[in-house]
Structure 1
Amino acid sequence: MHTDTVEFDLSQVLNYPITVRIKGWHSDQPLQWTSFNDDGLVAEGVFLEAPGLPLFTLGDDKGQRLCDAIPADINAICGLMPAMDFQLAQACAVSAAARQLASDAPLLFLLAVDYARQQPLSVDAFEQLLTFRRADILNAAGLRGSKSLARLVGRLKLSPMMPWELDDVRRALQQPDFLALLRHHPEVHLNHLRLLLRVRRPLWPGMLCLVNEYTQAADLTWTYRMIRDTLNLAGGNERVLAQVNSREDLQDQHDRFIERFNRQNHRNSEEKRLELAQELEEEHGEYPQPPIAPVEGIEPLTSWLELLEEGATMRHCVGSYDVAVAGGEVFIYRMISPERLTISLEHRNNAWVVGEVRASCNANPSPDTLERVRRWVNL
C-alpha cells in the first residue's frame, strides 16, 4: 500500500465489514479511493465522486486526516462548501490551472466543479474546461458568458455555503436588475445575493450597504423583515427606502412609520377598526386558519379585526402584516401567559418556524419564554 494512503475501517459505523482506502494528496493519484471487504473490491471512485461519508476531516486509526496533508489554500477553498469538500479537493488536484482558478475566482471554480460533477466530466474533460476563457466557463455553467459578468463573479467574495445555494447564485446572476446594482458596489459578497433573492423588490443603490461579508443569517433575516415591514407600513410606497443607506437608516425609517401607524391605529375607535377589518376581508378574503394547534397560554388570532387590535394593544406593527398573513407567509399568535407577547410564525421550506416574538413596543421576551415558544413550534 502506498505510504501516502489513509485507510478507514467503517465496519462499526455501517454494521457490515467495509474499509475505504484513499490515496493522499502527495500520491500519484490524489484522493482516488476504493472500498473493499473480506471478499475483495467493492467499489472504486471516479473523478468528483466522494466516498459518501465525511472522510475529508475524519481521522484514521493512527489519527491521520486527509486534510492534514493538503495545502492551506486548498483547505480554505474546500471550507467554502463543506458538503463538497472531497470533490473540491479532487478538482484542485487536477492541475496548477485548477488551483489558480480556485484562488483567483472561488465562485467560478465552484460553478465549474458543480458543472463537471453533474455532467459528469472526466479528468481530461475538466482540464479542457479549465483552458476556456472565464466567460466561456460561465456559459458552460449555465450563465451568460460575458466579460463583465466574469469580472463580477471574480470579485464576489464567499462564505461557507450549501451546494443547493449554487442554484440560488445562478438565479441571482441571471437577474439584470440585480446585476445593475452589484456591478457598481465596491465589495460584493454572497450575502448580497442572499439579500437580493429574499427581498426582490424594491431595489435601490443603498440596499447593498445593509449587509456585508460579516453579516450572519439572523442579521440577514432581520434586514429582510425590516424592509418588508417598512414597506408594508408605507402602503407599498417604495420611495420611502430610496435614501436608506445603512442599517441605522433602515431602523430609523421603520421606527418612524411604526410610531405613525400606532398613533393612528390607537386613535381609531372600535367602530373604525371594524371598518378597516371589513376592508381587509374584502381585499384578502376570510382570515386564514392557524397552521399549528394552540397550547395553554398561546392562542391564534382568528380575524382581521384581531390582527388590527393586536397591533394597537401591543403598540407595534403587526397590524400591517395583512398581506403576508393573507399570502400564507406569516401567521400571528398571541401569548397570554407567562408573558404577554405577539408571536409571528413564518412559512419556510414547507415548514412553520418561529419568526419574531415581541412584547409591547417591540420589547424582547425573556430567554425562558422564547425557548418555550420554540419548543411549542417544534412539537
Structure 2
Amino acid sequence: MNVFSVPISQVGFCYNLEFENWHNGLVGYRVFEDGKRELLEGGLGFGLDMLQTFEGAEQWKAQIPTSVYDITCLYPEYQYQMLHLASCCSNAIDLLNSRPILLALICDKYSVDNSQAMRLIGLGQRQILAELGLDSTKSALKFLDKVIKDNRLSTSLNLVRSLLHPVSKRYLRFKHYTEVFHSTVILDQSYPFMTGTALGMAIANARTNPEINISTYFTDTLRLGEAIGVNDPIAVIQRLPSLERLRDLHDRWSEQRMQQRFQLRRPQNTDVPYVNDFTLTDDMQHIANYQQLCDEAIEMKHCISIYHNRIVSGQYSAFRLLSPERMTVGIKHVSTKTFPYEIDQICGVRNASPTEATRQVVYDWFERNRKSYSSSNVVATSNRAINAN
C-alpha cells in the first residue's frame, strides 16, 4: 500500500490526510478541499489509533514494524512524528529501543519542525538533554531509565522536564530508588520530607495496589493525626519503617477519631434496645444496641453508626455477618410491601463489596425470613377467620 488516505473532514476537520508508506518515510500531507496539499512538518497531536476506523488503516499499519509502532503508542500525541523520524533515521530507532522518552521529549519541543528534531536525533543522548535545556549528566540518563518503567510518569513529559531542570536537579532526590513512579513524584511534591525515607520508598513500591491510592492514603493518615491532636504527626509518620506500619497507624488513628466523634455527637436514646423481627443463625447476628452498633462501625471502619436514629424509630435493622466473610448487613423497613423489608446494604471493611457467594448467603437468609413471615401471616389470618365465626 503506497498511500493511506484519511477523510477526516467527515468528522469535522477542514482537511483530509494522506500518508506515504514506511519505506517512503511515512511522509504526511494535509489535503484541502481545493486540492492543495500541505506537508506535515511535525506531529498530529493525537494517536494513530484514532485513524483505525478508516478504510485502509490496517493495511497501512501492517507495513510499520510492530515493535516500533507499539513503543510509540505510549506517546499518542507524538506518535506519528516519532514514527516518521524512525522511518527516516536509524538513530531514532536506536532511541526508541533504548530511551524512547528522549525521542518523545524531542518531538514535544519540535512538534512542528521535523528538521530540528532530526538534528537532535543525530546527537549523543547527553547532548540531546542539553539541547532540550535539561540536566545532561549521566545521572539524568539513569533517572530516565527509572522513569520509563512507569507508563504514567514517562508520558507526563511536563513533570519529567521539571525534575530534570538543570539548576534544581530535583531528580537527584530519587537517586536511591531503583524505580520512580508517578505516585512517587506526586508524593514528593506534596510531602518532600518523605522522599528517600524507608516509608517513602515503601510507598513507591506499593504503586500497583489497585485497592488504594497511596498518596491519598498517606494524606488521609496525616489528617487523621492532626484531627485527634497528635503532636507533630509528620514526625510520627516519617519514622515508620514500612507501608504495613502506615496501615496499622492509619487504622489506629481512624479508630480514635471515630471514638471522638461518638463522644461529641452521641445521639439520644442510646439506652434503647433494638428490636429484631428476623430469625438469626450462628453466622448472622443481630446488632442489638447502640454500643454494638458503634463497635461494628469501629471494627468495620464504616459509618453504620449513623443509622441509630432510624433503627430506634423502627425504620432500619443492622446485622453482623461472620461467614463466609465478615460483612455488615443493613435492612430497610418498607411498610408498603407485603414483606415489609428489603436489603439495603451488604458491606465489608471500609465498605468493601461482598463476593457473589456472600451475597447469595444473605439473599437466602432473607428469603427464608420472607417465607416464614408469609406463613405466619397466613396462620394469623386463618385464626382470625375462625374466631370471627
**What is the TM-score normalised by the length of structure 2?**
0.59
Gaps of 5+ in 1: 271-310, 319-335, 341-358, 368-379
- Aligned match of 1:196: 188
* 2: CA distance, partners of 1:112 / 1:7: 27
- Aligned match of 1:134: 125
Residue 61 (structure 2) pairs with residue 61 (structure 1): no
The one-letter code of the counterpart of 1:231 is L
Larger C-alpha radius of gyration, 1 or 2? 2
The one-letter code of the counterpart of 1:232 is R
Q: Deviations over 1:215-259 (max 9, x none)?
A: 37x66x721121112222333432323354554332222112222
* Among candidates 18, 21, 44, match of residue 21 of structure 1: 18
Shift of 1:99: 1.2
- Aligned match of 1:87: 81
Residue 358 (structure 2) pairs with residue 362 (structure 1): no
Aligned pairs, number: 283
Q: Give the secondary structure class of the aligned counterpart of 1:92.
A: helix
- Aligned match of 1:31: 26
Shift of 1:187: 2.7
Q: Deviations over 1:59-116 (max 9, x none)?
A: 5434535432221221122121223221221232231111111211122222122122
Tell me if the contact between 1:81 and 1:160 (Cα under 8 Å) persists in the aligned partners: no
The one-letter code of the counterpart of 1:41 is K
Residue 251 (structure 2) pairs with residue 255 (structure 1): yes
The one-letter code of the counterpart of 1:34 is Y
Q: Deviations over 1:279-302 (max 9, x none)?
A: xxxxxxxxxxxxxxxxxxxxxxxx
Tell me if the contact between 2:174 and 2:180 (Cα under 8 Å) persists in the aligned partners: yes
Aligned pairs for 1:296-307 within 5 A: none
- Aligned match of 1:170: 161
* 1: CA distance, partners of 2:75 / 2:124: 24
- Aligned match of 1:210: 203
Change (3 A) 1:134 1:52: closer
Tell me if the contact between 1:91 and 1:113 (Cα under 8 Å) persists in the aligned partners: no
Identity of aligned residues (%): 18
Q: Deviations over 1:301-337 (max 9, x none)?
A: xxxxxxxxxx99965999xxxxxxxxxxxxxxxxx99
Residue 156 (structure 2) pairs with residue 156 (structure 1): no
* 1: CA distance, partners of 2:176 / 2:44: 39
Tell me if the contact between 1:106 and 1:154 (Cα under 8 Å) persists in the aligned partners: no
* 2: CA distance, partners of 1:73 / 1:364: 40
Aligned pairs for 1:331-346 within 5 A: none
Q: Deviations over 1:261-283 (max 9, x none)?
A: 3345545688xxxxxxxxxxxxx
Shift of 1:145: 2.2
Gaps of 5+ in 2: 227-231, 267-293, 303-309, 319-346, 356-389
**What is the TM-score normalised by the length of structure 1?**
0.60
Tell me if the contact between 2:207 and 2:214 (Cα under 8 Å) persists in the aligned partners: no
- Aligned match of 2:99: 105
- Aligned match of 2:177: 185
